[in-house]
Structure 1
Amino acid sequence: MENSLDLELKTARRKGAKPMMWVAMVSMTMMFAGLTSAYVISSNREDWVSFDLPVAFGFSTLSIVLSSITFFIAKLTAKKGNKTMTTVMLLLTLALGLGFVYGQFQGFHEFQDMGLYFTGPESKVSSSMLMVIVFAHVLHVVAGLISLLVVCYKQIAGLYPKDDVLGLELGEIFWHFLDLLWIGLFCFFYFNT
């Protein structure tokens, strides 16, 4: 039985969890806004080289969009108390998230096949900046995958009763944010490379 101090602490954490998530997402958005602004400013350089986006980025985009759908379904089924379907959807989300990361690294290999490198004498400012921004996003997705692993563990352990899925909801909010951020970055690069 929880004492009143534990209950108050738990209530305070619940009240602060979503606002803190929003603050973190605004901070990340500002970071990527700064990076894309630097990309736009640098595109006026004389040595700027235009190129097509790797095909793998299109496939990875599809993967992360599908993963957001499966995460949304997982939350809906968790709220209905369907533990089996929630677990399946969370594991599918994890697989699609890993597919996204794989697609990003395949895109980096496609850049190399095009003769575009991140560093070195053959590197171009445009491809280097794009790779920095994409890699920064991949790092955030890795953080999202770690939180998704925690959510999967808690789901499998039965720690999400249908009336208390806050941890799952926070994971979902962050995952949707990463999805929307990538779609924005993908569109930005599509129209600015």
Structure 2
Amino acid sequence: MEKELKYVDLVEQPISMHPKKFALWLFMVTVVMIFAALTSAYIVRQAEGNWLDYNLPSIFWVTSGIVVLSSVFLQWAYYSAKKDNITNLRIGMVASVVLGVAFLVGQWYSWVALVDIEVFFVGNPAGSFLYVFTGLHALHLISGVIFLIIVLISTFRYKVHSQSMNTMEMATTYWHFLGGLWIYLFMFLLLNH
């Protein structure tokens, strides 16, 4: 009595991601690594002594609120795009861009406030780290605002809707990442200044 062997080929769906999304995620991982290295260096250098004690200017609280609010508007725009509500999509995108620019202006004024309390880029490493953190984050945020503007223009060309969400998803992911990164940096600085 011979047994008949049956081979069943199970075809698994490969994990796939749009190449641009994959590149975005790789970029965000590198940004996390950069800021993890910087915050680690901050802690090590602070432990060595000769560290300037200062209070963070209150404008940092304002800019933190602005970046959170911009993420809320962008998420609303994202949901609106999924529902093909183009009017709300555009309103949300405009609000996100305006708030993103307001955050950058607020960061500039935070530097002015730091100079007013005599925390400078040169001199004590505490000030140097603060300017590097905020400046590097602002640089990434500029790229985020440019990305949001590109998506905003696409909404007026009817290129963002429920059937075409790739750019919107990427912009939303990146913007939320930048907002989360700022909140992390702000909390880190509050606890370690």
TM > 0.5 fold call? yes
Contact 2:77 2:93 (C-alpha < 8 Å) held by counterparts: yes
2:121 counterpart of 1:118 = yes
Q: Pick one of 77, 94, 101 that aligns with 1:91.
A: 94
Worse-matched range after superposition: 171-180 or 19-28: 19-28
Between the two proteins, the alignment pairs up a number of residues equal to 178
1:44, distance to aligned residue in structure 2 (A): 2.0
Q: Secondary structure at the match of 1:50?
A: coil
- Give yes or no for contact 1:151–1:167 (8 Å, CA) kept in 2: yes
The CA distance in 1 between the partners of 2:166 and 2:173, in whole Å, is 10
Superposition RMSD on alpha carbons, in Å? 1.3
Give 2:29's aligned residue.
26
Question: What letter is aligned with 1:117?
Answer: F
Counterpart AA for 1:103: G
SS in 2 for 1:180: helix
Match of 2:64 in 1: 61
- Asked which structure has the greater CA Rg, the reply is 2
Give yes or no for the alignment of 1:39 onto 2:42: yes
Contact 2:148/2:171, CA 8 A, preserved across alignment: yes
Q: Which runs of 5+ in 1 are unaligned?
A: 1-12
Cα deviation, 1:8-35, whole Å, max 9, x if unaligned, reads: xxxxx96222222211111100000011
SS at match of 2:84: coil
Distance 1:95 1:133 in 2: 23
| Residue 129 of structure 1: aligned partner | 129
The one-letter code sitting in structure 2 at the alignment partner of 1:116 is V
Query: Which ranges of 4 or more aligned residues in structure 1 deviate by more than 6 Å?
Result: none
| Cα displacement (A) at 1:40 | 0.7
2:181 corresponding residue in structure 1: 181
TM-score, normalising length: structure 2:
0.89
The share of aligned pairs that are identical, in percent, is: 31
Match of 1:141 in 2: 141
Question: Which is helix-richer, 1 or 2?
Answer: 1
Q: Is the 8 A contact 1:116 1:127 kept in 2?
A: yes
Deviation, structure 1 residue 102? 1.1
CA distance in 1, matches of 2:161, 2:111: 41
Larger deviation, residues 77-86 vs 156-165: 156-165
Question: Which amino acid is 1:71 matched to?
Answer: L
* Stretches of structure 2 lacking an aligned partner (at least 5 in a row): 1-15
Deviation at 1:133, TM superposition (A): 1.1
